Copies of this chain bind each other. A is one copy, B any other.
Amino acid sequence: MKQIPGGITAPQGWQAAAVAAQIKPSGKPDLTLIYSPTPAVAAGVYTRNLVRAYSVDYDQAITQKQQPVHAIVINSGNANAATGTRGMEAVHETAGLFSSLLQIQPDQVLTASTGVIGVPLPMEKIAQAAPSLVTALSATGSDQAAEAIMTTDLVAKTLALETDLDGVTIRLGGIAKGSGMIHPDMATLLGFITCDAAVEVNLWQTLLQEVTALTFNQITVDGDTSTNDLVLALSNGQAGNALICDPDSPEAAILKQMLTEVCLDLAKKIARDGEGATKLLEVQVSGATTDQDARKVARTIAGSDLFKCALFGCDPNWGRIAAAAGRAGVAFDPAHLAVWMGDIQLMAHGEPLTFDRAAAAAYLKGDPVLVRLDLGPALGQGSAWGCDLTYDYVRINGEYTT
């Protein structure tokens, strides 16, 4: 796998653009279009929050029908959530507007939103900006898109890869935004993946779900999930490879590896850019009964407020790690537990070791920080990613802004 520039416009046949539609009070770009003139197979994973924006329901209905799509329209600055029937109308109006301009069907346009909740989406601003957005579409528009989907993210998040598949070059790119937050919004995770491989739609959906379980679903900033979270993956077949249908084929394995590398990179970037975060935390768990158990333990530790504060304070507090593992809802024998921070082992066979606290504290000053746990002799393993809990998290989320 070779990293290449170009993000979501690196794969063949993909264009993107962004404009400032004045939805964000800052006047920064806030309306983004991702487009392939060739129809693409579409897969999606969606927030499990019961209270969700209509755009999530809308996209899910389309990807479940397995219809090919051409475009994704994303606005930042307004989540278009909890706005009742007006929210539903706004999604259909947006899809209708862009389908007219792009001369495609309305249900070939997916939509996503992030920003303030409970405020109607200013459709007149979107209508006014739409023609110039379509005109601006470009095969080098990925960076514009990656910037425009941000809310209070500090850095744009993007990666593209290319590889050889039976003599054909295939490319896969992604952009994402994460845990920046604007009042009174929840942290929203949006991820957009483009690809030029020819892939069967069921397989594409399966790959996205499997990869999301190991990447985007294994990051935590504060345990809160959003009304608007989604990851959409589109592949338009422009690479010219033979259609990938068989999940057990080497080609499917390569495609999955590409998707995993891009999603993992974006997920880690989101965790590192968590609100107020000063460092990325990676938790690796081995020796669990199943991989799922291992992931659950890793996620519980990465989500422990107590340990996240200790991480901020560079305090090698293994007791909090052991206790978080113990409450993860996963069966293991505490007498087998071993814990490391980096290469420093703090616990073996469920008992604390004498260790160099100063060296451990110095290790925790670095970024990223790796915590490893071994739960026992079984073979289940998994990882999760998070960040530290800092004064700035409280400040960002506690500021009185009404």
Task: Report A's interface with B, CB cutoff 8 A.
Answer: 48-52, 81-84, 117-118, 181, 183-187, 222-227, 304-306, 309-310, 312-320, 322-327, 331-332, 334, 337, 347, 350-352, 357-358, 361, 389-391, 393-402
Contacts and interface: CB of A to CB of B under 8 A. Distances in A.
B319 A185 contact: yes
Contact of A398 (B227, B315, B323): B315
A394 B48 CA distance: 29
A326 B402 contact: no
Nearest to A400: B313
A184 B312 contact: no
A379 B362 CA distance: 54
Residue of A82, A323, A324 most packed against chain B (CB within 10 A): A323
Number of chain copies forming the complex:
2
Contacts of A391: 391, 394-395
B325 A51 contact: yes
Contacts of A389: 394, 397-398
A204 to B, nearest CB: 27
A95 B10 CA distance: 70
Contacts of A48: 327
B82 A309 contact: no
Contacts of A304: 223-224
A12 B181 CA distance: 56
A227 B402 CA distance: 41
Given A224-B305, A324-B224, A334-B51, A319 B82 contact: yes
B50 A118 contact: no
Contacts of A314: 400
Given A50-B327, A82-B322, A186-B320, A402 B224 contact: no
B224 A320 contact: yes
8 contacts: A49-B326, A50-B332, A118-B318, A184-B310, A224-B327, A306-B397, A309-B394, A390-B394
A324 B397 CA distance: 15
A281 B118 CA distance: 24
Contacts of A337: 51
A396 B140 CA distance: 48
Given A81-B319, A314-B400, A315-B401, 17 more contacts: A50-B334, A51-B350, A82-B351, A184-B318, A222-B305, A224-B327, A226-B323, A227-B323, A227-B326, A305-B305, A309-B393, A312-B398, A313-B397, A313-B398, A357-B402, A389-B394, A389-B397
